[in-house]
Chain A
């Protein structure tokens, strides 16, 4: 398995501002993903964070709104840009450990936009 941490755990932000969420893993992983989970809803994949190249975004998500970095095999950031109340959600990173298929999730970042 993997130990995954996210920062911040929660934040309250003003409309129009941006927030960067960090995801740190205690071991090198092959795949890192960013999900959004709105209250009472399922997990929606935002993008796959690729090490050393641009992230791969799912339909409905764009790089200008959700820029992602992955500078190495243990760390990634997701920025939620120009936020609106509709961006209020829980954002989770997940990883696939090298040699395994199973995803392990971080604890999530609860974002509230006023």
Chain B
């Protein structure tokens, strides 16, 4: 089955700096890669996603890149703000199989 590794497990940045979280996956059949943000005590919520036919996608301060050959994808957050502090999960999904495999999560702390 699919295996997703996520790094780092914790990340602390100064407000205004950039943050990068990286994930690797094992199953070449995976074709959809969402990122979720989970604030303390809340449900995971989708913040950005990318499909395997696209190399990069950007939404304001958030961007995701995908390297299919190397089987890795990354989340980039620029100009970080304290409200970006949360746990971020990457996932890899084979839409034909219909389920996602999640990474272990990255706890991001943005210090004011």
Task: Please give the residue numbers on chain A whose beta carbons come within 8 Å of chain B beta carbons, in ascending order.
Answer: 31, 33, 41-45, 48, 92, 96, 101-108
Contact = CB atoms under 8 A, between A and B. Distances in A.
A102 B98 CA distance: 10
B100 interface: yes
Contacts of B49: 101-102
Given A101-B93, A103-B34, A96 B46 contact: no
B43 A108 contact: yes
Q: Mostly helix, strand, loop or mixed at chain A's interface? A: strand
B59 to A, nearest CB: 14
Nearest to A47: B99
B44 A105 contact: yes
List 4 A-B pairs, minimum CB-CB distance, nearest first. A105-B43, A43-B102, A42-B104, A42-B102
Contacts of B93: 101
Q: Mostly helix, strand, loop or mixed at chain B's interface? A: strand
Interface string B73-99: 000000000000000010001010011
Interface residues of B, number: 19
Contacts of B45: 105
A80 B101 CA distance: 22
Given A48-B98, A102-B34, A43 B89 contact: yes
A20 B101 CA distance: 25
Contact of B99 (A42, A48, A102, A108): A48
Given A48-B98, A103-B34, A107-B43, 8 more contacts: A33-B99, A41-B104, A45-B100, A101-B32, A101-B49, A101-B95, A105-B43, A108-B43
A96 B103 CA distance: 19
A96 B44 contact: no
Contacts of B101: 45
Contacts of A31: 98
A108 B32 CA distance: 24
